[in-house]
Amino acid sequence: MTTTHDPAHGTVDHGDHTHGGTGGADPHAPIENTAGEPDYFDVLQQAIRELLVEKGLISADEVRAMVETLDAHRPALGSALVARAWTDPAFKERLLADGTAAIEEFGIDNYDGTKLIVLEQTPEVHNLVVCTLCSCYPRPVLGLPPDWYKSRPYRARAVREPRALLKEFGTEVPDGVTIRVHDSNANMRYLVLPMRPAGTEDMSEPELAALVTRDTMIGVTTPRLP
């Protein structure tokens, strides 16, 4: 299918069109195409915002502030959290007992109000997090989920063949280790606490945090020494 740059003037579309007709899944598609026709969905979200602001139900400032919140929440928060848990046993205990309270104690704004459950990787159990129905994710600690987390193959296979799936991420889980898959929902989110690698005894907290990638906190990989 070729992409047309036809501005399609003269037809006032009432929203039944899809862009380019190729299945639409391109997240890089421009918002306002050069032909000057504003993007239907961008207009739609603007219209919703304006109407609700006019009705006094939300404020434009709240939406702007939320954009900043989204920008501020990155996987680095989770990495710092894990490094703290690795170096402070009492904090780790609190984190495992009540994730939501512990991240707030650590200074992370639990802005979406969800309950956080922290899952500890052990030599016996490897935890893996998925949202089979959609894209629930511990956003306050990890930011927004990567595209593959929301993809059909990940959601479909994580609960059926996690061992094979993990192998595709380069993670070999020995047969003697139990794999526990946690299916997230709207109100309950999971964060994996990876195992601290051997040979890191002399590392500082920031050095440790650098080992903790986003994927280790989803459970698809494990921390490696550089």
Partner 1 sequence: MATKRDMVVRPAHDLGGLPAGPVVPSDHEMTPFEKSCHALLNVLAEHKLVNTEEKRRGVEDLGAQIIGELTYYERWAVSASRVLIEKGVITSEELGARMNEIRARLTEAAA
Which residues in this chain contact partner 1 in the complex, by CB under 8 A?
14, 18, 23-29, 31-32, 36-39, 41-52, 55, 57-58, 62-64, 66-67, 69-71, 111-113, 130, 132-136, 144, 146-148, 150-160, 165, 168-169, 183, 186-187
Is residue 8 within 8 A of residue 37, CB to CB? The reply is: yes
Is residue 205 within 8 A of residue 191, CB to CB? The reply is: no
Which position among 59, 79, 136, 204 bears the catalytic label? Answer: 136
> What type of residue sits at position 110?
N
Is residue 68 within 8 A of residue 137, CB to CB? The reply is: no
Return the number of the residue (71 or 202) whose C-beta is nearest partner 1: 71
Return the number of the residue (79 or 85) whose C-beta is nearest partner 1: 79
Closest approach of partner 1 to the CB of residue 129, in Å: 13
Return the number of the residue (125 or 156) whose C-beta is nearest partner 1: 156
79 is catalytic: no
204 is catalytic: no
Is residue 192 within 8 A of residue 219, CB to CB? The reply is: yes
Q: How many helices (H) and strands (E) does the chain have?
A: 10, 4
Q: What whole-number distance in Å separates Cα of residue 1 and Cα of residue 19?
A: 12
Which position among 59, 134, 151, 204 bears the catalytic label? Answer: 134
Token representation of residue 121: 């990787």
β-bridge partners, 116: 189
Return the number of the residue (83 or 191) whose C-beta is nearest partner 1: 191
131 is catalytic: yes
Which position among 135, 151, 184, 204 bears the catalytic label? Answer: 135
135 is catalytic: yes
Active site residues: 131, 134-136
